[in-house]
Chains A and B, each alone.
Chain A
C-alpha cells in the first residue's frame, strides 16, 4: 500500500482488509452510508442482513466456528441499539467481534439529532472496549487496536462508533494521511501473562495425589485453541472430563474419559462426579451459576485448581487452592511437560472409576418413546439427526429446552462444531448464528436446531440465507410452547401455565419457509423423521426447514432446581428408584 491522502470511509474498509477480514455482516443507513460506497470495490464480502441483530449473531456464529473475529457494520440510532443484544451475548461468551456503528456528525452529537443515540455509553457495559472516533486520522490505528483487543487475552466484542463527517468524502474532516502500519497506543492493555511455574508445580502435585479428580473444562479451552493439548493432559493423567455448555466439543464425547455436560441440565454422572470430587481442575471455566447450582453446596470436598486468562475470574465465585493466571493452552502444555518429566507414579483410582461407571450405568440420559399417534419426542428427533449427519456437522442452537437436549444428545467429537448462546441465553440466536457459521465453513454441513419460540424471533434471516446463497438446515423442534418456561411452570408453579402457549397451527412453518425461498417439510410421525433428514441432507442449493411436531409435555432431565445444590439433582421418573 502507498502513503496517500484518503477519506475515513475508504480508510476503514482498507484497514479491515489489512486485518484479513473476508466477510462482514451488515445493513446500511444514513450515518454509515459513506462507508457503504467503498465496499463496492472491496475484496470483503458483505452480507446484507434483514435485521441488525441478525448481523451481530451471524458475526458471532462466524467467529465461534472459525476462531476468526466476526465483523458487523450497521448505522446509528436504532441500528446500534438493535445490535446491543449480540454485543452483550458476545461479551458473556467471550466471542471476538468488531462491530462498527455509524454516528451522527461530530457537531450534531448531543443535540438529539435524527437517529442519534449514545452508542458508546449504551454499549460500555457490554463490550470489552469501545471507541468513538473524533479524528479521521485515528481510523487506521483504532481499527488495528479494535482487532487486537477483540482477539487477544480473553476475547470479546469491541465497538467502533464512527461519526458521519469522519467518513464522508465530501466533508474536509474526513481527510487523513494513510499509514500502513499505525502504532497502537494501548498503555493499559497487557494481555500476555507470564505463567507462574510454581503454580504449575503445585497443580501437578495436587493432580497426582488426588483420589477423585475431575477436569472441569470451559469455553476458554476453545478460545485458547487448546483442545489437542487438553487431550494429551487427559490421556497422560487418566482423569475424567466434564465439558460445560460452552466447551462441548473441546474434548470428544466418544472418548471413554468424557463425562459430558455438567450443570442444571447436565447428565447425572457429570454433575455428581463434580459434586463428589476431591479435586476440580477448572480450565477456562468460570463457575457459572448454571454449573455450580447453590454455590455453598457445590463440590464441598473438592480442592480447586483454577486456570484462567482473566484474573478477574479467579476467585470470583470459589476461592481456588491453586490459581494460575494464563492462557489455557500454554498452562496445559506446561503441565504436560512437567508430568512427562515425572515418574508415572499414580495413585489407585480404580474405586473412583468404578463409582463413575456405576453412575453411568444407572443414570444414562433417557426418555420414553412416544405413543403411536402422539407428537414426536424431541430427544428421538435429535438422536436421528445426530446419527444421520456427518460427524463434523456444525450445530447452532437457540435457547431453551431444545438447546439443552441438543447439548445432551449430540455427540460432539470435534471442537468448534457447537455454536450456542450460553451466558446471555438469547432466544433467536440459532438461525443467524448458523448462517454465520456456514459462511465461514461453506463446505461443511450446518444445522440450526431451533424451538418455535426462538424461530419466530429471527426467522427472517432465512431470507438473507436464500438471497446470499448460504444454505443451512433448520431442525425446528416445534412443541407449540415456550417449552422451558412451560417446564418450570409445570414443576414449580403447580402446572399453572401462564403465557407460554404459542399456537398449534399458526404460523404454517412449511409455507413460511417456502415463502423465504427454503424447502419446507413438516414431520408428524417418527417413521417420517429419518426420511425427512435424508432429504434435507441432499439439498445443497437452498436452505431447508423441517417442522418437527414435538411433544409439549416433555421435560428436560436431569434437572437441578434453581437455588438448590447439585446433590438435589432431579432424575427422570424412570430412574427415581435407582440407588444414588
Chain B
C-alpha cells in the first residue's frame, strides 16, 4: 500500500448497500481510537453497493494504515478497500453556508465568491446562503474569509475523491 504524502489519509471503501454496514466500518475505527474527520457515503452506479470515502485527518504510519485496511477488508460486507494517494487523485468537497451580510457588504462578498467559483443559493434580508465545490484547502480558506462576516450555519460534506486520469 502506498504511503500518502499529505497530512491526511483517504480510504475508499466499496461496501454492500445494507443496513448496519456503516456501523461495522465506523466501529472498527472507534475501537482503535482513530478519529474520522469526514465520511461520505452514497450508492455507486450499482445500487447494491455503496462507496464510502473516509478522511482521516492524520497521516497514518504505513504499518497501522495497512493494518486498518486489512482489518476493514475482513468485514464481510466490505467488497473492496484501498487508500487513495492524495498526489494521484482528484478531490472535491461541498460546503453550503449561511453568512451574515448587510446589503452594503454583499458586493465584496459576491466578488470573492465568484473568484473561487462559488454560487449564491439564497438571499435573505440580513444574510446570504452560498455554496462552494472545491478542494478542502480552498474551502478552508474561504471559510476563514467568511468568519469575518459572521457564519450563521455551515455544513461541509468532507472529501470525496477519485483517481486522477
Q: Which residues of A does B touch, CB under 8 Å?
A: 120-121, 124-125, 128-129, 132, 149, 186-189, 310-312, 315-316, 319
Q: Are A149 and B76 in contact (CB under 8 A)?
A: yes
Knowing A124-B23, A187-B16, A187-B79 are in contact, say whether A315-B63 is a contact too (CB < 8 A): yes
B-side residues, CB < 8 A to A, are 15-16, 19-20, 23-24, 27, 31, 48-49, 63, 66-67, 70-71, 73-80
Nearest CB of B to A420, in Å = 25
Contact A316 B79, beta carbon cutoff 8 Å: no
With both chains docked as a complex, state the minimum distance between the C-beta of B127 and any C-beta of chain A, in angstroms.
Answer: 38
Q: How far is the CA of A125 from the CA of B30 in the complex (A)?
A: 11
Q: Is the CB of A128 within 8 A of B27?
A: no
| Interface residue from B20, B23, B67, B76 paired with A189 (Cβ < 8 Å) | B76
Task: Output the least CB separation between A530 and chain B (Å).
Answer: 49
State A186–B67 Cα separation when bound (angstroms): 23
Nearest-Cβ distance from residue B157 to partner chain A, whole angstroms = 25
Residues on B with beta carbons closer than 8 Å to the beta carbon of A315: 63, 66-67
A188 touches B77 (CB 8 A): yes
Min distance, Cβ B155 to any Cβ of chain A, angstroms = 27
In the bound complex, do residue B76 and residue A186 qualify as a contact, i.e. CB atoms below 8 Å apart? yes
Measured CB to CB, the closest approach of chain B to A286, in angstroms, equals: 13
- Residues in B with CB closer than 8 Å to A186 are 76
What are 8 contact pairs spanning A and B, CB under 8 A?
A: A120-B20, A125-B27, A129-B76, A132-B19, A188-B15, A188-B77, A188-B80, A319-B63
Nearest first, the 10 A-B pairs at minimum CB distance are A312-B70, A188-B79, A129-B76, A312-B71, A188-B78, A311-B70, A189-B76, A187-B79, A188-B77, A312-B74
Q: Determine the main DSSP class of A at the interface with B.
A: loop
**With a CB–CB cut-off of 8 A, which chain B residues contact A121?**
23
How far is it, in angstroms, between the C-alpha of A129 and the C-alpha of B76 when the chains are bound? 7
- Nearest A residue (CB) for B72: A312
Closest to B67 in A: A316
Query: Which of B23, B49, B70, B80 is packed against the most chain A CB atoms within 10 Å?
Result: B70
Complex alpha-carbon distance, A188 and B74, angstroms = 9
Per the bound structure, the CA–CA distance linking A121 and B23 in Å amounts to 9
Look across to chain A and name the residue whose beta carbon is closest to the beta carbon of B80: A188
A189 to B80, CA, bound (A): 10
Contacts of A120 in B (CB 8 A): 20
Bound Cα distance from A312 to B81, whole angstroms: 13
Q: Which residues of A contact B15 (CB under 8 A)?
A: 188
Contact A312 B24 (CB under 8 A): no
Query: Which A residues touch B27, using CB under 8 A?
Result: 124-125
Q: B78 to A312, Cβ gap below 8 A?
A: no
Contacts of B75 in A (CB 8 A): 129, 188
Q: How far is the CA of A310 from the CA of B80 in the complex (A)?
A: 16
Residue in chain B with minimal CB distance to A158: B76
Chain A residues with Cβ under 8 A from B23's Cβ? Answer: 121, 124
In the bound complex, CA of A374 to CA of B76 (Å)? 56
A188 pairs with B76, CB closer than 8 A: yes
**Distance in angstroms between the alpha carbons of A79 and B73 in the assembled complex:** 31
The answer to whether A188 and B16 have CB atoms under 8 Å apart is yes
CB distance from A562 to the nearest CB of B (A): 22
The answer for the CA separation of A319 and B15 in the assembled complex, in Å, is: 29
Provide the bound-state CA to CA distance between A188 and B77, in Å.
5
B73 CB contacts on chain A under 8 angstroms: 311-312
CB closest chain-A residue, reference B79:
A188
